[in-house]
Structure 1
Amino acid sequence: MQITINPELSLRTIALEDANAVFALTDASRVYLRKWLPWLDFTKEVADSTAYIEGCIKGHEAKSSLSLVIIFRNEIVGVAGFNAINHSNKIAAIGYWLGEGAQGHGIMTKTVQALLQYAFEELQLNKVEIRAAVGNSKSRAIPERLGFAKEGSIRAAEWLYDHYVDHAAYGMLASEWKQIKEK
């Protein structure tokens, strides 16, 4: 699957051939990403990225998740998608990360907009959720900028190496997406 957002930015289903690029990006942004992502210490070599991608492919085949590489100016700069898709309840949870060097171009806002359109128009979902650590203002800015409702906080939602962090929970309904799109 491929989603073209603009001439410089697109999303594509993650593939095994992406393992080297995804690992190199992870490694180059390790210190930056480690502040908010719990999996950096488990990604020590290309084989770890390969195993992650194999899991992504299984999730995609089972229709329970969808992981996409973010391509900006012909380079993989991050990963985004639906960490979980619940078809029974028509709900998906978006997750994303962007390499440090790709920050400040509006890439993630445009990426999440494209994911919302795909969720509501292609998958016919009713709700999309995003959760981010309360202290992660850059990640929280995405759903806030796009008109998600803040639904609350989840205490001690994630173990981050040596401490728990609370999550801010955001949601957008299909009906809200339609109203925003019509403006």
Structure 2
Amino acid sequence: MFYFPVNEQLSLKLPTQADREELYAVVDQNRCHLRPWLPWVDDMKSPDDYKSIIKNWLNQYADNQGFQAAMVLEGNIVGMIGFH
């Protein structure tokens, strides 16, 4: 599994199914800001909506086709970053 400590407070990690609730909360709190750049934001209406996308992200990484990483600040997911 991919994990990269940036510094003592910040790290990058592959999101897992266990992160669904936290990912949903971050997106839900920032919908207005994210909407112009991420057309899928309004389709994510519950943590369960992340099941398939997290599976896709893990497959992307396994297939060496880039990856999506959760940005973890002091133990909490604060965003995502994609590498293609």
Deviations 1:12-54 (A, max 9, x none): 1111111111011111111121132211121111111122101
- Aligned-pair distance for 1:81? 2.5
Aligned partner of 1:61 in structure 2 is: 62
Q: Report 1:5-84 matches (<5 A).
A: 5-82=6-83
- SS of corresponding position for 1:6: coil
Structure 2 portions without partners, runs of 5+: none
The higher relative CO (CA closer than 8 Å, separation ≥ 6) is in 2
| Alignment TM-score, normalising by the size of structure 2 | 0.88
Identity %: 28
Once superposed, which parts of structure 1, at least 4 consecutive aligned residues long, lie more than 4 Å away?
Answer: none
TM norm structure 1: 0.43
Task: Please give the alpha-carbon distance, in whole angstroms, between the structure 2 residues aligned to 1:30 and 1:61.
Answer: 29
CA distance in 1, matches of 2:53, 2:46: 11
> Any unmatched runs of 5+ in structure 1?
83-92, 94-183
Deviations 1:70-98 (A, max 9, x none): 0012110011132xxxxxxxxxx3xxxxx
Secondary structure class of the residue paired with 1:7: coil
Superposed, which structure 2 residues align to 1:13-162 within 5 Å?
13-82=14-83, 93=84
| Structure with greater proportional strand content | 1
Give the secondary structure class of the aligned counterpart of 2:45.
Answer: coil
Q: Secondary structure at the match of 2:6?
A: strand
- Structure possessing the higher radius of gyration over alpha carbons: 1
The count of aligned residue pairs is 83
1:60 is displaced (CA, Å) by 1.3
Q: Give, in angstroms, the shift of residue 67 of structure 1.
A: 1.4
CA shift, 1:59, in A, is: 1.1
The CA RMSD measured in Å over matched residues stands at 1.2
Distance 1:3 1:81 in 2: 14
